Amino acid sequence: MRTGNRSKPASRKPSPTPSEARDRAIVRSLASWYGRAARDLPWRTRPRDPYRSLVSELMLQQTQVSRVLEKFEPFLARFPTIERLARGAESDVLAAWSGLGYYRRAKLLQACAKAVMQRHQGAMPREVSQLLELPGIGRYTAGAIASIVFGERAPIVDGNVCRVLQRLDGEQGHAGDKRIAAWAWQRAEQLVTLTSRGRQVARFNEGLMELGATVCTPDNPRCDRCPLRSTCVARREQRTAVIPAPKPRARVRRVFHDVIVVRRRESSGKTSYLLEQRPASGLWAGLWQPPAREGTEAAPDAFALAVQLELHGLQLTSTTPTCTVFGTTHREVHFRTWHATHSAKKAGARRWVTEDELDTVAISNAHRGLIARSLQPSNPA
């Protein structure tokens, strides 16, 4: 009897479970949708430029796309390469960032550029672990650059992505909750591991962000335009209005600033403003502003304030302040704007800046508004 090795039947790949089949469909649908529906944005070059992507990611943190679009190209015109950014003066970087708010991001962006030059010879690293070692780059930004620029299978989670994932799976809770954050990162990783390296992973990850920004919005999501509507639990159960749950409101602190607007007419006919630099830490750190004092809730007596200001070469020309309120994420800033002249021969640590030069100086939007309002005819010169 002849014996021999019988060929074994080819092993079949196990069929995907229903949940895995659903996830694969989600990945395919979203990547395909992004290829058709993506907005034309200046940092979405092909191929992706690592430096442009880095700048856009930091600008887009807590800032609307429309505002970033105004500042992105002018910033790159001033700092066209990561080397130029690393070598630039911090005051110039802050000035180019002016109007975007959260100025600490600009300092971190420059620190990141310096680190890339020093540690990686100017080449942006592609591995998440190396990206996380750079200043200003957290888990989301590292994942975005690794996946969108370099095609690595790295998960990303921000507010938009978390909202999409929660509605997709019907996961209740708010994005600030630690349990939800951990769940979202795990869910994003499950999905991104099903992508093909390269173009699909980039399209899928950016598709998550794009869907949250343009379709799966916090209020009144446009479910009829969503490529994932057939598999979305929140839509099926009519819970899009309650998922995610609203985030508890952060406590807002009230602060009071007495701002002294000082301007003079130059021999050239131009108007100059006296500015001083804020402390290196805290609110609007390192930016320039008219001379100011952080006051108490009660407005200071004009005479007492005049005596205090005279020590610094300032003489009040108004006895009643103009009051305005400016809101930040954690503060409600109550401005009391006064007007004065400057009698000292030298500005000292302060500087005179002409109206034409204001756009080149790092000044917060709040203080720009105060300066602009001081030009109104009802205000004293």
Report the catalytic residues.
57
Q: Are 155 and 174 in contact (CB under 8 A)?
A: no
Can you tell me the distance from the alpha carbon of 354 to that of 365, in angstroms, rounded to the nearest whole number?
17
Query: CA torsion, points 133, 134, 137, 142, in degrees to nearest 10?
Result: -60
- As a whole number of angstroms, the distance between CA 375 and CA 366 comes to 15
Distances in whole angstroms, Cα of residue 339 to Cα of each of 309, 311, 312, 380, 381? 11, 16, 14, 7, 8
**Separation between Cα atoms, residue 365 and residue 293, nearest integer Å:** 18
Burial label for 265, CB within 10 Å (0-12, 13-18, 19+), is exposed
d(CA 367, CA 199): 44
Cα(192)–Cα(200) distance, integer angstroms = 9
Do β-strands 253-265 and 331-342 pair in parallel, antiparallel, or remain unpaired?
parallel
In 266-330, where do the E strands start and end?
271-277, 288-289, 292-295, 314-316, 322-327
- Locate 2 and state its tokens: 């002849």
Asked if 58 and 82 count as a contact pair (C-beta separation under 8 A), the reply is no
Structure-token pair, residue 176: 């600030």
CA 284-52-186 angle, to 5 degrees, is: 85
Q: How far apart are the first and last CA of the chain?
A: 115
Phi and psi angles of residue 230, each rounded to the nearest 5 degrees, phi first: -70, -20
Ordered DSSP codes for 2-64: ---PPPPPPPPPPPPPHHHHHHHHHHHHHHHHHHHH----TT--SSPPHHHHHHHHHHHTTS-
DSSP state of 98: T
